[in-house]
């Protein structure tokens, strides 16, 4: 999987390579969402590379691969406003390959549609990434809005309509980033039914192109590499927020702050706190002083050891923080509730040496009442499961499924959860008989056949990626007939992660 992602990155860099100077091509990276990000938190294909949600911890884009995309396999789905709460929004954002220049004209083109909502999409050009702990309407206005007056074409894919909207935009400032969503102020609809029912914005691709000449550009390849390297999709990436901002405000109205305390919390002699943490802790505690519930300390440990060992170590980490606060800052042990959650709830990369970043204590400070059941539910990062569809379920040397064996396929379909907690990847494989080109084509066709069958059985919106691997990932020796039989397969990989 990681090798495939690395190859994908190399390919896009090769295709869009440009030297220092002027470029006149699309400034939007991964413009049709075809390059798939494997998220840090759950190692799942849950979002497109180079694109991030504004409020990833509470409201994320839906990343779809259900056969109705106009260009390629993928498109994204954004909530434009909630039915009961019109202030509920989902925004996505990316960094442009090159900056917009003030006063210059750009052609904005977007292939899109809406569901239960007027045909329109807001775009804001900015100078930095924007992140929020709340899925509410952004206060900053849109730079422009495309609507039904900008429709140039109507196209179809499998009876699914797409509209090409286009207009010219004159940049009002130098800008490096782009956000997409609904920037209109929320308006509560009167009468029965309230607001729009499940209002959605579907985006297949987007381009921002200079109308005249090229755009001065430093190093677009470096920009793309940095975007693809950032793989967080369920938490706000620390690398993209202001330095020293360690507090994650969960809900200002209820009054809760979460402070992330890593292994460098204490100074080398273990007698005091490092300055980068002390000020943050003091600010949070002073904010609720005199009107504060018990302070919740949750320890996490990600060491190469048993679950029980990590649970014990994580509890010890949380106790160490409480001990310091009691013996150095005048608190009582009664002021704290201590938990050790062990190897669960990753905030950072879980692969390789980076997994150690998840060793931490989260200090949660709230105004009363602090009710355990009202705390945000955190999910355990389960390892993916794999269902294998053997060669026998296909007709000989064909991508057509054997209708006589649909019962076996149905049994596999029933093993896939349908509660919205999963994301699916479909991989086709062959043995090494035949040419590499033939095997790549056959494996992709078989993967698509299985994906189509899954869509017919209500799993289409959970599919995130369909890949034809060909002969390159054998599970057995191709020297024997039995080995070749095992290598001819389609795998359905089930990732357990919130969407």
> Given a cut of 60, is residue 499 above it in pLDDT?
no
Please report which confidence band the pLDDT of residue 287 belongs to, taking 50, 70 and 90 as the band edges: low
| pLDDT tens per residue across span 153-191 | 999 988 889 999 999 999 999 999 999 999 998 876 655
How high is the pLDDT of residue 282?
Answer: 80
How high is the pLDDT of residue 255?
Answer: 62
Whole-model pTM above 0.75?
no
Please report which confidence band the pLDDT of residue 194 belongs to, taking 50, 70 and 90 as the band edges: low
Please report which confidence band the pLDDT of residue 150 belongs to, taking 50, 70 and 90 as the band edges: very high
How high is the pLDDT of residue 428?
Answer: 95
Please report which confidence band the pLDDT of residue 498 belongs to, taking 50, 70 and 90 as the band edges: low
**What is the pLDDT averaged over residues 57-67?**
89
Looking at per-residue confidence, does 255 or 418 come out higher?
418
**What is the pLDDT averaged over residues 208-236?**
86
How high is the pLDDT of residue 13?
Answer: 44
How many Å apart are CA 140 and CA 285, to the nearest integer?
A: 30
Min mean pLDDT across 82-86, 117-121, 135-139 is at 82-86
How many Å apart are CA 204 and CA 191, to the nearest integer?
A: 34
Please report which confidence band the pLDDT of residue 289 belongs to, taking 50, 70 and 90 as the band edges: low
> Given a cut of 80, is residue 244 above it in pLDDT?
no
How high is the pLDDT of residue 327?
Answer: 84
Q: How far is CA 489 from CA 404, 426, 478, 493, in A?
A: 18, 11, 13, 13
Residues 6+ apart with CB under 8 A from 437: none
Which structural domains are found in the chain, ordered by start? 2-240 (2.60.120.260), 247-374 (3.30.1330.60), 385-496 (3.30.1330.60)
| pLDDT tens per residue across span 68-77 | 899 999 999 9
Please report which confidence band the pLDDT of residue 251 belongs to, taking 50, 70 and 90 as the band edges: very low
Pairing of strands 144-147, 120-126: antiparallel
Q: Quick one: how far is CA 264 from the chain centroid?
A: 28
How high is the pLDDT of residue 181?
Answer: 96
Radius of gyration of the chain from Cα atoms?
25
Task: Give the burial class of 352: count Cβ atoms within 10 A of its Cβ; 0-12 exposed, 13-18 middle, 19 or more buried.
Answer: exposed
Q: Write down the mean pLDDT value for the chain.
A: 84
How high is the pLDDT of residue 314?
Answer: 94
> Given a cut of 80, is residue 438 above it in pLDDT?
yes
Most confident segment among 11-15, 113-117, 268-272, 316-320: 316-320
**What is the pLDDT averaged over residues 475-479?**
93
**What is the pLDDT averaged over residues 250-255?**
47
**What is the pLDDT averaged over residues 183-211?**
81
How high is the pLDDT of residue 432?
Answer: 93
How high is the pLDDT of residue 353?
Answer: 65
């Amino acid at each position: 999987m990681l090798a495939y992602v690395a190859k994908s990155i190399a390919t896009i860099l090769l295709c869009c390579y440009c030297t220092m100077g002027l470029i006149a091509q699309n400034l939007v990276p991964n413009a049709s969402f075809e390059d798939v990000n494997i998220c840090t938190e759950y190692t799942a294909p849950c979002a497109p590379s180079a694109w991030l949600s504004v409020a990833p911890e509470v409201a994320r884009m839906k990343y779809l691969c259900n056969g109705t995309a106009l260009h390629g396999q993928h498109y994204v789905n954004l909530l434009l406003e909630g039915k009961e709460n019109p202030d509920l929004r989902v925004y996505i954002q990316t960094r442009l390959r090159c900056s917009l220049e003030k006063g210059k004209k750009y052609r904005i083109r977007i292939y899109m549609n809406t569901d239960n909502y007027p045909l329109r999409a807001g775009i804001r050009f900015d100078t930095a990434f924007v992140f929020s702990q709340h899925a509410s309407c952004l206060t900053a206005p849109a730079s422009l809005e495309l609507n039904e007056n900008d429709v140039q074409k109507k196209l179809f894919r499998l009876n699914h309509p797409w509209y090409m909207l286009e207009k010219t935009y004159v940049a009002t400032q130098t800008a490096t980033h782009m956000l997409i969503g609904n920037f209109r102020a929320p308006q509560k609809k009167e009468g029965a039914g309230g607001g729009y029912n499940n209002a959605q914005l579907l985006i297949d691709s987007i381009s921002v192109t200079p109308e005249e000449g090229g755009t001065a550009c430093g190093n677009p390849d470096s920009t793309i590499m940095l975007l693809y390297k950032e793989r967080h999709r369920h938490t706000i990436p620390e690398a993209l927020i202001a330095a020293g901002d360690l507090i994650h405000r969960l809900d200002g109205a209820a009054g809760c702050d979460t402070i992330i305390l890593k292994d460098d919390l204490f100074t080398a002699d273990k007698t005091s706190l490092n300055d980068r943490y002390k000020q943050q802790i003091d600010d949070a505690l002073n904010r609720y002083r005199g009107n504060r519930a018990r302070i919740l300390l949750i320890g996490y440990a990600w060491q190469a050891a048993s679950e029980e060992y990590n649970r014990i170590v994580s509890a010890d980490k949380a106790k160490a923080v409480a001990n310091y606060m009691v013996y150095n800052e005048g608190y009582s042990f009664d002021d704290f509730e201590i938990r050790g959650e062990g190897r669960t709830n990753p905030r950072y990369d879980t692969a390789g040496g980076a997994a150690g970043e998840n060793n931490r204590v989260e200090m949660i400070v709230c105004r009363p009442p602090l009710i355990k059941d009202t705390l945000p539910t955190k999910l355990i990062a389960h390892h993916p499961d794999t269902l294998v569809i053997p060669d026998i379920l296909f007709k000989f040397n064909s991508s057509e499924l054997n209708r006589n064996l649909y019962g076996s396929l149905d049994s596999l379909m029933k093993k896939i959860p349908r509660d919205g907690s999963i994301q699916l990847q479909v991989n086709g494989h062959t043995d090494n008989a035949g040419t590499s080109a033939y095997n790549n084509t056959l494996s992709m066709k078989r993967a698509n056949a299985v994906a189509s069958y899954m869509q017919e059985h209500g799993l289409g919106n959970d599919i995130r990626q369909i890949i034809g691997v060909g002969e390159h990932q054998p599970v057995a020796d191709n020297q024997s007939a039995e080995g070749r039989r095992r290598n001819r397969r389609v795998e359905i990989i089930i990732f357990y992660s919130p969407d």
